[in-house]
Amino acid sequence: MQKLRYGLRVLCMVLCLAASSEAQVSIGIGTPNVSIGINFPVYPELVRIPSYPVYYAPRVNANYFFYDGMYWVFTGDIWYSSFWYNGPWRPVAPEYLPYYILRVPVRYYRHPPAYFRGWQPNAPPRWNDHWGPGWSKQRSGWDQWNRQASPQPAPLPTYQRKYSGERYPQMERQQRIHSDQYRYQPRSSIVREQYKGGGGKGQSGPPHGKKGR
Protein backbone atom coordinates (compact mmCIF):
# COMPACT_ATOMS: atom_id res chain seq x y z
CA MET A 1 0.00 0.00 0.00
CA GLN A 2 2.82 2.40 0.80
CA LYS A 3 4.39 1.86 -2.64
CA LEU A 4 0.98 2.34 -4.28
CA ARG A 5 0.40 5.60 -2.41
CA TYR A 6 3.85 6.86 -3.42
CA GLY A 7 3.21 5.92 -7.04
CA LEU A 8 -0.07 7.84 -7.04
CA ARG A 9 1.64 10.82 -5.42
CA VAL A 10 4.34 10.81 -8.12
CA LEU A 11 1.70 10.60 -10.83
CA CYS A 12 -0.28 13.55 -9.44
CA MET A 13 2.81 15.71 -8.95
CA VAL A 14 4.18 15.02 -12.41
CA LEU A 15 0.88 16.10 -13.95
CA CYS A 16 1.16 19.39 -12.04
CA LEU A 17 4.77 20.23 -12.95
CA ALA A 18 5.44 23.80 -14.05
CA ALA A 19 7.47 24.77 -17.08
CA SER A 20 11.18 25.56 -16.72
CA SER A 21 12.86 28.19 -18.95
CA GLU A 22 16.25 27.16 -20.35
CA ALA A 23 15.46 23.51 -20.92
CA GLN A 24 12.64 23.05 -23.42
CA VAL A 25 9.76 21.69 -21.38
CA SER A 26 7.35 18.93 -22.31
CA ILE A 27 5.42 17.19 -19.57
CA GLY A 28 4.44 13.58 -20.10
CA ILE A 29 4.50 10.12 -18.60
CA GLY A 30 6.20 7.14 -20.15
CA THR A 31 6.60 3.54 -19.04
CA PRO A 32 8.62 2.95 -16.97
CA ASN A 33 10.21 6.43 -17.18
CA VAL A 34 8.93 9.96 -16.80
CA SER A 35 9.33 12.96 -19.10
CA ILE A 36 10.13 15.93 -16.86
CA GLY A 37 10.88 18.45 -19.58
CA ILE A 38 14.69 18.30 -19.51
CA ASN A 39 15.63 18.72 -23.17
CA PHE A 40 19.01 20.41 -23.60
CA PRO A 41 20.10 21.10 -27.17
CA VAL A 42 23.72 20.37 -26.14
CA TYR A 43 25.51 18.90 -23.14
CA PRO A 44 25.04 21.36 -20.23
CA GLU A 45 27.83 23.17 -18.43
CA LEU A 46 28.43 21.52 -15.04
CA VAL A 47 30.45 23.11 -12.24
CA ARG A 48 31.59 21.42 -9.06
CA ILE A 49 30.08 22.67 -5.81
CA PRO A 50 33.04 23.67 -3.61
CA SER A 51 33.93 20.98 -1.04
CA TYR A 52 31.19 18.63 -2.29
CA PRO A 53 31.44 15.64 -4.67
CA VAL A 54 28.50 17.10 -6.60
CA TYR A 55 28.20 19.23 -9.75
CA TYR A 56 25.41 21.67 -10.58
CA ALA A 57 24.32 23.50 -13.74
CA PRO A 58 24.70 27.27 -13.05
CA ARG A 59 23.17 28.42 -16.34
CA VAL A 60 20.08 26.24 -16.18
CA ASN A 61 16.80 27.30 -14.61
CA ALA A 62 16.38 23.90 -13.00
CA ASN A 63 17.63 22.02 -9.95
CA TYR A 64 20.04 19.89 -11.95
CA PHE A 65 22.97 18.00 -10.41
CA PHE A 66 25.52 15.29 -11.17
CA TYR A 67 26.70 12.93 -8.44
CA ASP A 68 28.37 9.51 -8.37
CA GLY A 69 27.95 8.84 -12.07
CA MET A 70 24.32 9.94 -12.36
CA TYR A 71 22.29 13.08 -13.07
CA TRP A 72 19.76 14.19 -10.47
CA VAL A 73 16.87 16.65 -10.91
CA PHE A 74 14.50 18.04 -8.29
CA THR A 75 11.26 19.40 -9.74
CA GLY A 76 7.63 19.41 -8.68
CA ASP A 77 8.75 18.27 -5.20
CA ILE A 78 10.03 14.99 -6.68
CA TRP A 79 13.59 13.79 -7.26
CA TYR A 80 14.57 12.02 -10.50
CA SER A 81 17.74 10.30 -11.67
CA SER A 82 19.24 9.31 -15.02
CA PHE A 83 22.50 8.07 -16.52
CA TRP A 84 22.16 10.46 -19.47
CA TYR A 85 21.92 14.22 -19.36
CA ASN A 86 18.49 14.42 -21.07
CA GLY A 87 17.06 11.29 -19.46
CA PRO A 88 15.00 9.14 -19.57
CA TRP A 89 14.27 9.89 -15.92
CA ARG A 90 13.12 7.67 -13.09
CA PRO A 91 11.51 9.06 -9.89
CA VAL A 92 13.44 8.38 -6.69
CA ALA A 93 11.64 8.10 -3.35
CA PRO A 94 13.00 10.45 -0.64
CA GLU A 95 14.18 7.56 1.54
CA TYR A 96 16.44 6.32 -1.29
CA LEU A 97 18.32 9.52 -2.12
CA PRO A 98 22.12 9.51 -1.73
CA TYR A 99 23.32 11.49 1.26
CA TYR A 100 25.41 13.96 -0.74
CA ILE A 101 22.44 14.88 -2.92
CA LEU A 102 20.50 15.65 0.25
CA ARG A 103 23.43 17.77 1.49
CA VAL A 104 23.65 20.15 -1.48
CA PRO A 105 23.32 23.70 -0.07
CA VAL A 106 20.20 25.71 -0.81
CA ARG A 107 22.12 28.31 -2.85
CA TYR A 108 22.85 25.76 -5.62
CA TYR A 109 19.19 25.11 -6.38
CA ARG A 110 18.66 27.27 -9.46
CA HIS A 111 14.86 26.93 -9.33
CA PRO A 112 14.11 26.42 -5.62
CA PRO A 113 10.58 25.71 -4.42
CA ALA A 114 8.76 28.40 -2.43
CA TYR A 115 9.19 26.59 0.88
CA PHE A 116 12.99 27.06 0.65
CA ARG A 117 12.51 30.76 1.41
CA GLY A 118 14.19 31.82 4.63
CA TRP A 119 16.42 28.75 4.79
CA GLN A 120 20.17 29.28 5.16
CA PRO A 121 21.73 29.45 1.67
CA ASN A 122 24.95 27.69 2.72
CA ALA A 123 23.17 24.82 4.50
CA PRO A 124 21.25 21.85 3.03
CA PRO A 125 17.48 22.15 2.68
CA ARG A 126 15.61 21.27 5.83
CA TRP A 127 14.48 17.88 4.58
CA ASN A 128 13.76 16.75 8.15
CA ASP A 129 11.04 19.42 8.38
CA HIS A 130 9.75 18.84 4.87
CA TRP A 131 9.49 15.05 4.85
CA GLY A 132 8.69 14.62 8.52
CA PRO A 133 9.73 12.37 11.45
CA GLY A 134 9.23 9.09 9.59
CA TRP A 135 11.75 10.06 6.95
CA SER A 136 14.08 11.56 9.57
CA LYS A 137 14.14 8.27 11.48
CA GLN A 138 15.06 6.31 8.36
CA ARG A 139 17.79 8.74 7.26
CA SER A 140 19.27 9.63 10.64
CA GLY A 141 22.68 11.29 10.27
CA TRP A 142 22.22 12.51 6.71
CA ASP A 143 23.06 16.08 7.80
CA GLN A 144 26.11 15.14 9.88
CA TRP A 145 29.39 14.60 8.06
CA ASN A 146 33.00 15.74 8.03
CA ARG A 147 32.93 18.71 5.67
CA GLN A 148 36.73 18.69 5.48
CA ALA A 149 36.87 15.12 4.18
CA SER A 150 34.36 14.93 1.33
CA PRO A 151 35.17 12.30 -1.33
CA GLN A 152 36.38 13.29 -4.75
CA PRO A 153 33.61 13.69 -7.34
CA ALA A 154 32.98 11.14 -10.02
CA PRO A 155 34.36 12.09 -13.45
CA LEU A 156 31.83 13.73 -15.73
CA PRO A 157 30.66 11.47 -18.58
CA THR A 158 31.84 13.99 -21.17
CA TYR A 159 31.60 11.36 -23.92
CA GLN A 160 27.91 12.37 -23.98
CA ARG A 161 28.83 15.70 -25.57
CA LYS A 162 28.94 13.85 -28.90
CA TYR A 163 25.28 12.95 -28.58
CA SER A 164 22.89 15.87 -28.95
CA GLY A 165 19.83 16.71 -30.97
CA GLU A 166 18.94 13.92 -33.39
CA ARG A 167 22.04 11.98 -32.32
CA TYR A 168 20.76 11.58 -28.74
CA PRO A 169 20.40 7.80 -28.33
CA GLN A 170 17.35 5.83 -27.29
CA MET A 171 17.44 4.01 -23.97
CA GLU A 172 18.63 0.61 -25.21
CA ARG A 173 21.55 2.17 -27.09
CA GLN A 174 22.31 4.45 -24.14
CA GLN A 175 23.06 1.42 -21.98
CA ARG A 176 25.57 0.00 -24.47
CA ILE A 177 27.33 3.34 -24.98
CA HIS A 178 27.49 4.02 -21.25
CA SER A 179 28.99 0.60 -20.51
CA ASP A 180 31.61 1.06 -23.23
CA GLN A 181 32.56 4.66 -22.50
CA TYR A 182 32.24 5.18 -18.75
CA ARG A 183 34.33 3.01 -16.43
CA TYR A 184 33.61 4.72 -13.12
CA GLN A 185 32.30 2.53 -10.30
CA PRO A 186 29.92 4.41 -7.97
CA ARG A 187 30.40 4.66 -4.20
CA SER A 188 26.74 4.91 -3.26
CA SER A 189 24.89 1.62 -2.80
CA ILE A 190 21.84 3.25 -4.42
CA VAL A 191 23.74 4.05 -7.59
CA ARG A 192 25.55 0.68 -7.57
CA GLU A 193 22.22 -1.14 -7.59
CA GLN A 194 21.11 0.89 -10.59
CA TYR A 195 24.35 0.04 -12.39
CA LYS A 196 23.72 -3.65 -11.73
CA GLY A 197 20.32 -3.16 -13.30
CA GLY A 198 21.89 -2.42 -16.66
CA GLY A 199 23.49 1.01 -16.69
CA GLY A 200 20.49 3.22 -17.19
CA LYS A 201 17.40 1.23 -16.33
CA GLY A 202 17.10 2.95 -12.98
CA GLN A 203 14.90 2.16 -10.00
CA SER A 204 13.29 4.00 -7.12
CA GLY A 205 15.57 2.47 -4.52
CA PRO A 206 17.87 -0.44 -3.72
CA PRO A 207 16.34 -3.86 -3.13
CA HIS A 208 15.50 -5.42 0.23
CA GLY A 209 14.92 -2.02 1.88
CA LYS A 210 18.57 -0.99 1.94
CA LYS A 211 19.13 2.74 2.39
CA GLY A 212 22.26 3.63 0.48
CA ARG A 213 24.47 6.61 1.05
The domains of the chain are located at 2-209
Cβ atoms of residues 105 and 115 within 8 Å: no
Cβ atoms of residues 57 and 74 within 8 Å: no
* Global confidence as pTM: 0.80
Comparing CA positions, the residue from 74, 104, 95 lying closest to residue 212 is 95
pLDDT digits (tens, 9 = 90+) for 136-193: 999 999 999 998 888 999 999 999 999 999 999 999 999 999 999 999 999 888 888 7
pLDDT digits (tens, 9 = 90+) for 78-106: 999 999 999 999 999 999 999 999 999 99
pLDDT at 10: 47
pLDDT at 37: 85
208 — pLDDT class (breaks 50, 70, 90):
very low
User: 56 has which bridge partners?
Assistant: 47, 65
pLDDT digits (tens, 9 = 90+) for 4-36: 444 444 444 444 433 333 444 333 333 456 779
